[in-house]
């Protein structure tokens, strides 16, 4: 207790010397809140309320998943157009353009949610 650091170490140097932070860097210390080894750079980010490398990676993966969902919807529309054309039912260009615009509107609404 108190404002000065304790003289004891939480882990022996031999056990902690090979520890790695979530970002892959050599750990400089230990994050007590998350019970993880941490490097100096990540410790500053966490202290400032920023995200960890793992959290940034999760956010990036979610962005990729959202993009794939949109691309799948657009691809489904292209397949419908090709099926219609193959079945001798040619859709007017205006109808195809409207369908693509509808997908963009839905995507915008999903991003706002």
Model pLDDT, residue 25: 86
Q: What is the mean pLDDT of each run of 10 residues along the chain (113 residues)?
A: 52 58 85 82 73 80 90 84 69 76 80 73
Provide the 3-class DSSP secondary structure of residue 1: coil
Residue 101: how many other CB atoms lie within 10 Å: 10
Sign of CA dihedral 61, 63, 66, 67: negative
Structure token digits, residue 75:
């691809």
Evaluate if pTM is beyond 0.75.
no
- CB-based contacts of 77, cutoff 8 Å, min separation 6: 96, 99, 100, 103
What pLDDT does 64 receive?
A: 92
Tell me, rounded to whole angstroms, the distance of Cα 74 from its chain centroid: 22
**pLDDT for the residue numbered 1:** 45
């Amino acid at each position: 207790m108190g404002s000065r650091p304790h003289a004891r170490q939480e882990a022996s140097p031999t056990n902690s010397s090979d520890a790695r932070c979530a970002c892959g860097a050599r750990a400089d210390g230990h994050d007590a809140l998350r019970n993880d080894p941490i490097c100096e750079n990540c410790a500053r980010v966490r202290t400032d309320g920023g995200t960890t490398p793992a959290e940034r990676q999760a956010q990036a993966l979610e962005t990729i998943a959202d993009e794939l969902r949109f691309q799948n919807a657009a691809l489904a529309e292209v397949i419908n157009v090709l099926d219609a054309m193959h079945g001798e039912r040619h859709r007017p260009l205006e109808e195809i353009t409207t369908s693509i615009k509808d997908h963009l509107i839905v995507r915008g609404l999903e991003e706002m949610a």
